[in-house]
Structure 1
């Protein structure tokens, strides 16, 4: 079967090569493809328009100092979020039908302690944070989440606290961000 398919594909090419009169009569002149040329795709004018010109001082936010500070979660490189900023993020989470959940941890980052190495199941200590109460099923207001964050911070002042958003249909964590660092 494979040889029949191969011969049917090769036959028209060999027929055309065998009769040069038929090739010259039916073919048209086509220039061979020579590849993409950057000069035709990207003109110098387009490059100057898309390049960033930042000659003057611009109002920018100072980011979190990375020296001696590992990156923990989304927004962890920014200065600490205010309650209003946290509430806006939680409101967005609720609008997206995500279930807020609060977690805390003394380390605040994933560490590979007691890691079994290559060929293991992938388990290691320090991968999971402790859940503060149950996920907030039915939560409709960010003030409920802010109250729980405050309770968690009061109960565990030496812990990192984060808010996660779970999708109940996909049963996965969709988003998460740091809301408190230890005192």
Structure 2
């Protein structure tokens, strides 16, 4: 065998070596772009229990943030486009341009107990059962929203099951 043929054979052997990435490509999933509405932190999870919500509210309070409860119906809670900006925000839950929810009462200034927030969330849900409800945490020094999470999703707007949020390519 000539040196050129041996070199070609060596290159062929090198190309045939795999890192396993090709085999793993079939296990990769593609995000389903439609009917996959997500809101805020944790909205991809099953509904949070009162105990889990309480822990998140305690986190807000520990950081000195003021809890604020907001709600909105499904027609207005989710924004696909933004007028002149013509932005599709269907996969950008954290993008807030022109997405405002109705505030439930006033922000809970001076609140020190997560149970107070849970009680207000439950009252909001009782009054508006067909609305999404979220809890936001506002920093009064920076004057910005620092955190928010979905506390209630109406039964008519059940989240897409975790195993249906992506498709195998």
Q: Which has the larger radius of gyration?
A: 1
CA RMSD of aligned residues (A): 2.2
Q: Is the counterpart of residue 182 in structure 1 residue 150 in structure 2?
A: no
1:75 aligns with 2:42: yes
Distance in structure 2 (CA, Å) of the matches to 1:170 and 1:78: 29
Shift in CA distance, 105/111, structure 1 to aligned 2, threshold 3 Å: farther
Offset of 1:68 from its aligned partner? Answer: 2.2
Mind listing any 5+ residue stretches in structure 2 that lack a counterpart?
A: 1-31, 87-95, 156-169
Contact 1:75 1:178 in 2 (8 A): yes
Secondary structure at the aligned position of 2:135 is classed as strand
Aligned-partner SS, 1:116: helix
Matched, 1:135 2:107: yes
How many residues align? The count is 113
Higher relative contact order (CA 8 A, sep 6+): 2
Q: CA deviation at 1:139?
A: 0.1
* TM-score (ref. length: structure 1): 0.57
Q: Which has the higher strand share?
A: 2
TM-score normalised by the chain length of structure 2: 0.62
Residues 85-100 of structure 1 mapped to structure 2, 5 A cutoff? 85-100=52-67
* Match of residue 170 from structure 1: 142
After TM superposition, what 4+ stretches of structure 1 lie above 6 angstroms from structure 2?
Answer: none
Uncovered stretches (5+) of structure 1, i.e. residues with no partner:
1-64
Q: Show the 5 A alignment for 1:37-116.
A: 68-107=35-74, 108-112=77-81, 115-116=83-84
